[in-house]
Chains A and B, each alone.
Chain A
Amino acid sequence: MIITKKKSPEEILKTLDGFENIYLFGCNACAQQCRTGGSEELDEMEGLLKEQGFSVCGTALLEETCYRQLVLKTLRQDEATKKADAFLVLSCGAGVKTVSDCVPEEVPTLPALDTIFLASVERVGRFFEGCSLCGECVLARTAGVCPHTECPKGLLNGPCGGMHDGMCEVDPQNECAWARIYKKLKKQGRMDTMREHVPPKDNSVKTRPGRLLLR
C-alpha cells in the first residue's frame, strides 16, 4: 500500500494558477484507501476548483492510476481529456508520473497529493511504514523489523545512545527498532544473530531510476 496525503488547497491552487480547464484523475487503489484520491475526494476537489472559478472538464477514477494502459484507455475514450489545459492527479507519485507520460507533452500534469511511504495496513485507515524498498532485504537477521525503516537513523548494528527505556529518541511514541529486534531475537533464541557484525549497506544494489523488464 502506497500512502499519500493531501497537499493543502493553497498549494494546489497555486500550481493551477493560469490554467482554466482542469481534468482530474483519481485512483481507486491505494489513494482511495488513504482517503486522498477516491470518488469522495474527486468530488471534493471538483467542488473546490469550481468554487475558485476553474472549469473541471472531466474526471476519471481509475482502478490503478499507475497502469499506463488504463490511463491511455481513458485518454482514448473520454473526449473531455482533449479540452484539458492541465491534469490534476489525486494519486501517488507513480500515478502522476504515469499520467504525465501518457498525456501530450505540452499539457502539464500536476500532483494533488504528497507520497509518503510504503505501508503495512493494520486495519482500514491505519497504516504503518515497515519497508523502505532498499533493495537488500535484511529482515531475516532482524526478526522481521526493518532497521533501515523503523530506526530513524537506519542503524544496522544495534541501538544508538538515543534509546530511552526501550523507546526512540526521535519519536518517544515509537519503540526503538533495535529494542524490538533484540526482544524478538531473544524470544527466537537467536542472540548470535544480534551479535553478528553487519557490514555497511551495499547501495549499488539500488540505483535510480529502478527498472524491471520481464518481457
Chain B
Amino acid sequence: MADSRLKDALSRGDFVITAEICPPRGTDTTGFTEKARLLKDRIVAANVTDNQRAVMRLSSLASSLLLLKEGVEPVFQMTCRDRNRLAIQSDVMGAWVLGVKNILLLTGDHVSFGDHRDARAVYDLDSVQLVETVEGLNRGVNLKRRELRGGTDFYIGAVVSPEAEPFEPEWIKFEKKTRAGARFFQTQAIFDMERFKRFFHDAQKLDVKVLAGILLLKSAKMAHYLNLNVPGIRVPATIMEELEASSDELQTGIEIAARQVRELRGFCHGVHIMAIGKEEKVVDIIELS
C-alpha cells in the first residue's frame, strides 16, 4: 500500500498545508464532498473532525472514506470522549483496512459544550494513552500486548497548545505524546508569532513535524467570542482592532490568516487551516499567502 502523502511531504521538507473539514450533521454529504473537491489540489490532506465541540455529526471514519473517494487524503481524527478502549482499537483498525493512512489523536471537548449534554463522557483512555495504543497497533499488538493478525501503519499525529498557560504542564504532555509515538503535531490556533517561534525551536529537539494552527477569524464578534469561550486561544488586541476597523471583516480575517501563513512559510513545517464553516475561503487564504 502507498505511504501517507502527508508523511512523504513532511519528510521531503515541503511546506505542508492541511485544512479541516467538518462532517455534516446528518446524512446529506453534498456540501461536504463539494468542499473536498474545492480543496483537493490545494492541500496535502484534510482533517475530518470527530464530533467536534461534542456536537453529534456524521462519523469521522465514514467522512474520511468519503474524502478518499474524492481523492483527498484524510487525517482521521479520533477523540477519547466517545469510545472505550475496545471501540477505539477496532475503529482505528477499521480505518486502516479502509485505506486511511493518517490519524490525529486528541482528548476531545467535554460533552458539556455540545448538543448532547446529558451524554456520558467516556475518556477511558487519555490522549497520551491513545497515542500509545495506536503506536502499539502499528507494531502489531493490541493494548493487552497481544499480537494481532495484521497491524496498522498509521502516520500518528497529536495536538499541542503553544499558547497554553501555564505552559510547562502542556509542554510535559507534549513530550509524553512524542515519546508515546506521535510523529506530527497540529497546534491549537496560534496568534502570538514570537511565542510560536520559540515553541517551534524547542520542539525541533524532539524530532517531530509541527503544523501551526491557523484559525480564520470571520468577524470581530467571533474573535471576541473565541477569547471568552475557547480555552487556549488568545486573539491579541492588535488583531481585534484590525477586525473592528474593517468594512469587510471576513476579507480582513482572510488577510490576517494569509499573513500568518506567509510568515510561517519562512521557518515552520506547515500550517493547518481551520476555517470552521467557511472551508471555501481556505483557497483564498492560500492564494494570498
Q: List 11 A-B contacts (CB under 8 A).
A: A152-B112, A153-B107, A156-B126, A156-B128, A160-B107, A163-B231, A170-B112, A179-B166, A200-B143, A201-B124, A203-B124
Distance between A165 CB and nearest chain B CB, rounded to angstroms = 5
Interface string of A194-210 (1 = CB under 8 A from B): 11011111010000000
| Cβ–Cβ contact B107 & A161, under 8 A | yes
In the assembled complex, B164 has its CB within 8 A of some CB on chain A: yes
Interface set, chain B 69-103, CB cutoff 8 A to A: 80-81, 85
What's the interface size class on B, roughly? Answer: 35 or more
Chain A residues within 8 Å of B121, by CB: 152-153
- Closest residue of chain B to A171 (Cβ to Cβ) is B112
B169 nearest CB neighbor, chain A only: A182
B-side contacts of A169, CB under 8 Å: 109-110, 113, 231
The residue that A158 contacts in the complex, of B80, B172, B231, with Cβ under 8 A, is B172
A161 engages B232 (CB within 8 Å):
yes
Interface hits, A160-204 → B, CB 8 Å: 160-166, 169-170, 178-179, 181-182, 186, 191, 194-195, 197-201, 203
Please tell me if A80 contacts chain B, counting CB pairs below 8 Å. Answer: no
B176 on the A face (CB < 8 A): yes
Cβ of B169 and Cβ of A158 under 8 Å apart?
A: yes
Closest to A196 in B: B176
B169, A194: Cβ atoms under 8 Å? yes
Tell whether B276 is near chain A: CB-to-CB under 8 Å. Answer: no
Asked if A118 lies at the interface with its beta carbon under 8 angstroms from chain B, I say no
Q: Are B232 and A158 in contact (CB under 8 A)?
A: no
**How far in angstroms is the closest Cβ of chain B from A176?**
8
Given contacts A163-B231, A195-B175, A195-B176, contact A153 B170 (CB under 8 A): no
The answer to whether A182 and B107 have CB atoms under 8 Å apart is: no
Are A161 and B172 touching (Cβ within 8 A)?
Answer: no
With a cutoff of 8 Å between Cβ atoms, the chain A residues found around residue B164 in the complex are 159, 161, 163
- Selected from A170, A191, A195, A200, the residue in CB contact (under 8 A) with B110 is A170
| Pick from A155, A162, A166: contact of B126, CB under 8 Å | A155
Instruction: Answer yes or no: A154 CB below 8 A from chain B CBs.
Output: yes
Q: Does B42 have its Cβ within 8 Å of any Cβ on chain A?
A: no
Cross-chain contact of A179 among B85, B107, B169 (Cβ < 8 A) = B169
